[in-house]
Structure 1
């Protein structure tokens, strides 16, 4: 029998969870807080569930120093659902702002308002996407599916400067963002860390800052709670939980309260239909989810509890350093692995450019991508208890996902194997 302590799992998601959290989970599944029933069985509207929600929010707010003018939502659509929900909600806000401005000019003539609004939407609605990997590409494609390709501005397609493949982030001077003087885009989207392609933004883009900065949306599914984040620079941060935060089942959204009523008004369903724009499902509607404390429909409280335990553990472990403590550990683990790969250029080739290397998903090829040798590399790793190293099916190769629950000892064992394999190759 293989014990949990015998293996180190580097899978990209669902990813490993802290053993202590899983041990606690096995207990609360049977009997939560001495109630005689398990956590999956209690009502999502019970006092216990509300306490779990509050504690999880507080742990996340503490770790990331989330400002008071932001809200935290728990949704069930995963990171992929975030591709859609951001479009539904922020386009609706943009449309309503334009409608209100036109109504001020023409008064109560609804037909004239709609006529002018159609023209404004047709000519001015733009959603900017920085496409640097497989997930941001999927996000841009979902936006085009929902609102039409003419309204989606791919301001960056990293493949164009990298021989048709992802693996770099072009200089900001080469980005073609919608000009702010022309009203700017409804929002700018980017994926902070590309799980498939091993690309991570080293920092917040300077071109998205400033007093007239656009609304910025970031998908942080695979690098959530792994480094410091200036939340105030983002309108919306979202991500699925199944990488660093918890098990599959919830997505977390951090958004400015100013994007919620009464500060922001949303276009009516009638107006959106008249403009041939999509009306989003109620479970992806930020105002509805926020108003109901993420409990509009049945929230998987067990999944929230797991996420809360993971984050509370980080709060306890790192104290005043907060997420900076985990960032130090993540950086050190990735440094050890990359330095070892770079030491053997005849055996290993790191896929992304050095300036865009992900700390979370370390993608590389063995012997130039030779299929048989990569298969042998993976088999050798498995014998050492190093699991989950196979690259994504769309790109192949090797991928070591360096999430928070991967211990430093696990990273060092991987480094030892990389050394041994290279010297025997």
Structure 2
């Protein structure tokens, strides 16, 4: 099959222009006679790649000078531990807002390293919505408030972020970073695995306030688990994932070429609207998991009237060249992950398939 409609939840679709640019340079990067994968991470040729990726991130996300950009390995799952290692001292409490499986895992890791508390949760309704923090109780003992900005399994998303002054707001943005405009000033730390919107798996972007990094008491923290190790060494303390950072830069170039964040946010909203309208106009044949006020523009989760119909729909979708539409085992049904690189045409094709299948059944 020459091409497919890629709705994988991650690793996910990458922009074709970014892949083509990488393909063109794969064997001979910048007239070096070597692939970028073969360059020394201390070389001037790689340093240019490294710095450009940082500068494009800073430009596209309007990252202020108060924050540093780090390239870390280990995925968001390592950040579940790295965060409390750096911020959760013995006299502080890590506050967690539970909105799905990934926030539960973040809480579990934090609980291994210090005192934690569930500030708010929507678990009792099977994570169909984002909880209201208007009645949340904060204290001067709070080390941070951790949220997961988008929930891939349940298809929910923080449409607006809370204003928290009592402690740093920390967000796992692995599945919706770079998908919309963002006020980075609201956050003490943002972290995101690259494999949804930023690039290939293997790179984790951390955007952290410099004052948080500098004030962290990490005397007894292993070197590679300190944010300061990456900040002080420009993410070059050891060999970084050079090809992943290179391809991340290519993705950022693509975002800039299509008009930046305003255009990208508009495109993502349009894609999501195509599929959500199909669900809403199906008279219950397709049932969205997330409440409308908490719907994600990145992961659209829905079920059919019964499991037999779900299996038949997914089988037909596979025959037609749709990939990655199976819902997560915890909620079943279907999931369309429509990250930045998924084109509108793919969403229209899915809409047409959904309408066709409903009419036939």
- Among 88, 95, 99, which residue is 1:132 paired with? 99
What TM-score, normalized by structure 1, do the two folds share? 0.82
Instruction: Quote the residue 2:248 is aligned against.
Output: 307
> Larger C-alpha radius of gyration, 1 or 2?
1
Question: Does 1:156 find its partner at 2:109?
Answer: no
Shift of 1:421: 1.0
The residue number in structure 1 matching 2:262 is 324
Counting only pairs closer than 5 Å after superposition, residues 141-152 of structure 1 correspond to structure 2 as: 141-147=108-114, 151-152=115-116
Q: Is the 8 A contact 2:85 2:218 kept in 1?
A: no
The unaligned stretches of length 5 or more in structure 2 are none
**Cα distance in 1 between the residues matched to 2:295 and 2:318:** 25
Identify the residue that residue 111 of structure 1 maps to in structure 2: none
How is 1:6-405 mapped onto 2 (pairs within 5 angstroms)? 7-91=4-88, 95=89, 121=90, 124-147=91-114, 151-160=115-124, 162=125, 165-175=126-136, 177=137, 179-180=138-139, 183-206=140-163, 208=164, 212-261=165-214, 264-269=215-220, 279=221, 281-318=222-259, 322-367=260-305, 370-405=306-341
Tell me how many residue pairs correspond in the alignment. 361
| Rounded Cα–Cα distance in structure 2 between residues aligned with 1:345 and 1:201 | 27
Call closer, same or farther: CA 1:14–1:265 in 2, change over 3 Å.
closer
* The structure with more helix, counted as a fraction of residues: 1
1:62/1:315 contact within 8 Å kept: no
1:100-158 deviation per Cα after TM superposition (whole angstroms, max 9, x unaligned): xxxxxxxxxxxxxxxxxxxxx3xx421100001111111001111222xxx11101121
Aligned-pair distance for 1:47? 0.8
Partner-residue secondary structure (3-state), 1:187 = strand
1: CA distance, partners of 2:332 / 2:109? 24
Post-superposition shift, 1:220? 0.3
- How far apart, CA to CA, are the structure 1 residues paired with 2:85 and 2:216? 13
Contact (CA 8 Å) 1:341, 1:349: kept in 2 or not? yes
Report SS of the residue matched to 2:29.
coil
Offset at residue 346 of structure 1 (A): 2.8
How many angstroms does 1:172 deviate by?
A: 2.1
Question: Secondary structure at the residue paired with 2:202?
Answer: coil
TM-score (normalised: structure 2): 0.97
| Preserved contact between residue 236 and residue 256 of structure 1 (Cα < 8 Å) | yes
Q: Is the 8 A contact 1:44 1:300 kept in 2?
A: no
Q: Secondary structure at the match of 2:134?
A: helix
**Which deviates the most, 229-238 or 13-22?**
13-22
Deviation at 1:267, TM superposition (A): 4.6
Deviation at 1:296, TM superposition (A): 0.8
> CA-atom RMSD, angstroms?
1.4
The alpha carbon displacement at 1:284 in A equals: 2.3
